[in-house]
Amino acid sequence: MSPLAARPALDRIAVLGAGSWGTTYAKVLADAGRDVVLWARRESVAAGIRASRTNEAYLRGIVLPDNLYATSDVDEALDGVDAVALGVPSQSMRENLTVFRDSIPVGVPVISLAKGVEIGTGLRMSEVISRVGHIEEPRVVVLTGPNLAVEIAQNRPTASVLACVDHAIAVQVQKACATGYFRPYTITDVIGAEIAGTGKNVIALACGIADGLQLGLNTAASLMTRGLNELSRLGQALGADPATFAGLAGLGDLVATCSSPLSRNRTLGGRLAVGMGLDAAVAAAGGQVAEGVVSCRSMRDLAHRHGIDMPITEAVFNVCYRHMAPADMIRSLMDRPHTPE
């Protein structure tokens, strides 16, 4: 039996990071009956939540439950908790863990809400958490799937995935966050879950570009399908289960992120398509992170290291960092040599 399987229920949980997704997951946990502490980097955000029960900076108009407490004090947030969720952006995960790690209680599950591959190292977020946070691999649980924060915060039904190499730990977290509107499933394929969750943001950028160019649903469907194919090939090269890419972590997340106007990555792609430069397009997001901008770099590097051809990822990288015109991006994909599917 897993050493954590015998632990008591996860009743008190800290969520570190009060952005839109961190705040939403904190609300899910509170609605599931947990006692939740939400850590915000800025005291003004924490104070606003305490005073108004809303996070107007990142989740405007959503009333947060009374059993959710906000603080900007890391030690206060982590004091006596049964589990910790990390809701900070992927590229700042390493820096934040150097602050968090000494305060995270020994032995508790650590839930990763971040979707990304670290630039430079090529490490997935679970690997960064394990190595930098000194967290044993079986304690790291990856939450992924079609998780558009605003819809979940509005109690609209969704299914998600909790991936952990120790299935008992995934089940433990599953019980802690299941609600009438949030249905988590469990898998043990952490690699597949993270590659799918990272790569779908890149494909969503491509779909946003296609939408901004008014190319229609055939183009979007083609990008999603071929995008899923290249993510699956990279995942399998790293040891992932192909079935993961046909599930919620793969197809489910891809469809939501590539299709919804709530998707920051799809929206940013649309801005690029109409001629807005990358810096201006990012600035127009008002502080909200579009992970696909950095993920096209890290995923491209990972693909090159493993000899995997990822033409859509390469094309998005060229638009973002090599000044390729969006229309030329689509043309480059259409003009590739013909091959079997």
Query: Which residue numbers are catalytic?
Result: 200
Report the 3 state secondary structure along 229-261: HHHHHHHHHHCCCHHHHHCHHHHHHHHHHHHCC
Query: Cα–Cα distance between 163 and 143 in angstroms, integer?
Result: 7
CA atoms of 202 and 257, how far apart (whole Å) = 10
**Beta strand ranges found along 170-213 (DSSP E):** 182-187
8 Å CB contact between 258 and 202: no
The CA distances from residue 99 to 26, 84, 180, 255, in Å, are 20, 14, 35, 35
Q: At what angle do helices 311-321 and 326-334 cross, to 10 degrees?
A: 160
DSSP H or E run through 141? strand 140-144
Q: Kindly give, in sequence order, each residue whose CB lies less than 8 Å from that of residue 220, ignoring residues fewer than 6 positions away.
A: 207, 210, 211, 258, 259
